[in-house]
Amino acid sequence: MAAPGENMRVNADRLWDSLMDMAKIGPGIAGGNNRQTLTDADAEGRRLFQAWCDGAGLTMGVDTMGNMFMTRPGTDPDALPIYVGSHLDTQPTGGKYDGVLGVLAGLEVVRSLNDLGIRTKHPIVVTNWTNEEGARFAPAMLASGVFAGVHTQDYAYGRKDPEGKVFGEELQRIGWIGDETVGARKMHAYFEYHIEQGPILEAEGKDIGVVTHCQGLWWLEFTLTGREAHTGSTPMTMRVNAGLAMARILEMVQTVAMENQPGAVGGVGQVFFSPNSRNVLPGKVVFTVDIRSPDQKKLDGMRARIEAEAPKICAALGVGYSVEAVGHFDPVTFDPTLVATVRKAAEDLGYSHMNIISGAGHDACWAAKVAPATMIMCPCVGGLSHNEAEDISKEWAAAGADVLLHAVIETAGIAE
């Protein structure tokens, strides 16, 4: 006789339908999503999630960073909740699954428990963290960072997007400043289910990633000062070329990352030229270098090398230079007990699995500072993410949600 819940599975169709319905909000131009944080589309997605949670009998709490907490009560009034979450905000050319899968799989876990009439001892709280992506307002994982005490709320509220809009004002504008003190909530455990956003699970033919660690990150924002001048009539010897300095710094970042293989990455995703006119040499170039490694020594060594080399490159071109760290977290080790729980759930369910280190950052990295935390991953097609063509299968989505369901039940305990 199977123990209660032993063979439980989520409703794969219902999970998939919820993903497809959420994907209709903030559509991209190539089949993905542009539901950036604190936009009207974000607000619409929040309202849809809220309505679904209401339908599942959950009660909503919102903190002053707009983090959404949807609670399913437990039977033990003294038991701290099990949090299950991720993020609904997307990149400007994001996929349909990055973050969304973890939030909606959390809801699917609750819906499945409701279907089976299972009560848990610990409450379960499905969570949507504000501004995980850091695309519009740096840094990434901003609101979970405030929740974990890594950033102050004032710092977060003052962050500006490329158009100069201010985080706190935008959160106010969309009407999602809650009344809960951010970080006041205490967690018994935190689970985050997420697509891998890399090629390993698919290449290895594994259904489930048992996430043991997450690599650390630095975001270094460079501001280079050149001299605006005519691109046609200014002799090459008279140029103060900030664009050339940026190009040489990018090449140097590539070299530093390749010298630290295996287990290091470095690159640039965002550059602003001012005045950004075809026939004007830029007076100002602002760009963010993104370097990461699971190895603390490599991570910090890369930062030191880049910050030592960049001024030399600029000095040789007479270009002004400043750099500010606008994002950082050290490599994260997830809770071994929860990692073992995830592994056992995958084994009990008969899913192939392997240990994996997360290449991308997640809210779980900050949750791990305040509670036992871990992650579950599913493959994604070609390892592609942060691209509108990001794709997973319904089977992959459901397998990870099944593992999440079993891990949550194991940790929350089934009430008699």
Tell me which residues touch Mn ion (CB under 5 A): 98-99
Number of residues interacting with ligand HGY: please give it, by CB under 6 A: 6
Stretch of 33-41, 76-84, 126-134, 340-348 lying at the interface with ligand HGY (CB under 6 A): 126-134
The nearer residue to ligand HGY, 90 or 212, going by C-beta atoms, is 90
The Cα 374–Cα 213 span in angstroms is 8
The nearer residue to ligand HGY, 99 or 282, going by C-beta atoms, is 99
- The per-residue b/e assignment along 296-330, b for 16 or more CB within 10 angstroms, e otherwise, is eebbebbbebbeebbeebbeebebbbebeeebebe
* Residue 42 binds to ligand HGY (criterion: CB under 6 A): no
Which of these, 25, 6, 385, 407, lies nearest to 194 by C-alpha position? 385
> Smallest gap, in angstroms, from Cβ of residue 409 to Mn ion?
25
Partner whose footprint covers residue 140, from Mn ion, ligand HGY, none (CB < 5 to 8 Å by kind): ligand HGY
Q: Residue from 361, 372, 379, 400 that binds ligand HGY (CB under 6 A)?
A: 361
CB 12 within 8 A of CB 395: yes
> Smallest gap, in angstroms, from Cβ of residue 364 to ligand HGY?
11
Looking from the CA of 235 toward its CB, the CA atoms found within 13 Å total 2
> Smallest gap, in angstroms, from Cβ of residue 96 to Mn ion?
12
The nearer residue to Mn ion, 198 or 331, going by C-beta atoms, is 198
CB atoms within 10 A of CB 179: 8
- E strands, 75-207, are 82-86, 124-128, 189-195
- The per-residue b/e assignment along 246-270, b for 16 or more CB within 10 angstroms, e otherwise, is bebbbebbeebbeebeeebbbebee
Q: Could you tell me the two tokens for 227?
A: 């001299």
Partner whose footprint covers residue 99, from Mn ion, ligand HGY, none (CB < 5 to 8 Å by kind): Mn ion
> What CA–CA distances, in Å, run from 278 to 162, 227, 229, 232, 387?
20, 15, 11, 10, 27
> Smallest gap, in angstroms, from Cβ of residue 5 to ligand HGY?
32
* Residue 133 binds to ligand HGY (criterion: CB under 6 A): yes
* Residue 132 binds to ligand HGY (criterion: CB under 6 A): yes
The Cα 185–Cα 107 span in angstroms is 19
Q: Residue from 28, 66, 134, 243 that binds ligand HGY (CB under 6 A)?
A: 134
Q: Tell me which residues in 136-155 interact with ligand HGY (CB under 6 A).
A: 140
* Residue 390 binds to ligand HGY (criterion: CB under 6 A): no
> What CA–CA distances, in Å, run from 332 to 106, 186, 234, 273, 296?
22, 20, 50, 35, 10
Q: Residue from 8, 285, 299, 360 that binds ligand HGY (CB under 6 A)?
A: 360
Stretch of 27-35, 128-136, 173-181, 334-342 lying at the interface with ligand HGY (CB under 6 A): 128-136
The Cα 142–Cα 248 span in angstroms is 30
> Smallest gap, in angstroms, from Cβ of residue 132 to ligand HGY?
6
Stretch of 52-60, 111-119, 133-141, 181-189 lying at the interface with ligand HGY (CB under 6 A): 133-141
The nearer residue to ligand HGY, 91 or 225, going by C-beta atoms, is 91
Q: Could you tell me the two tokens for 340?
A: 């073992």
The nearer residue to ligand HGY, 95 or 226, going by C-beta atoms, is 95
Cis amide linkage into residue 199, ω under 30° from 0 = no
Pairing status of strand 229-230 against strand 208-214? unpaired
List residues binding ligand HGY (CB under 6 A): 132-134, 140, 360-361
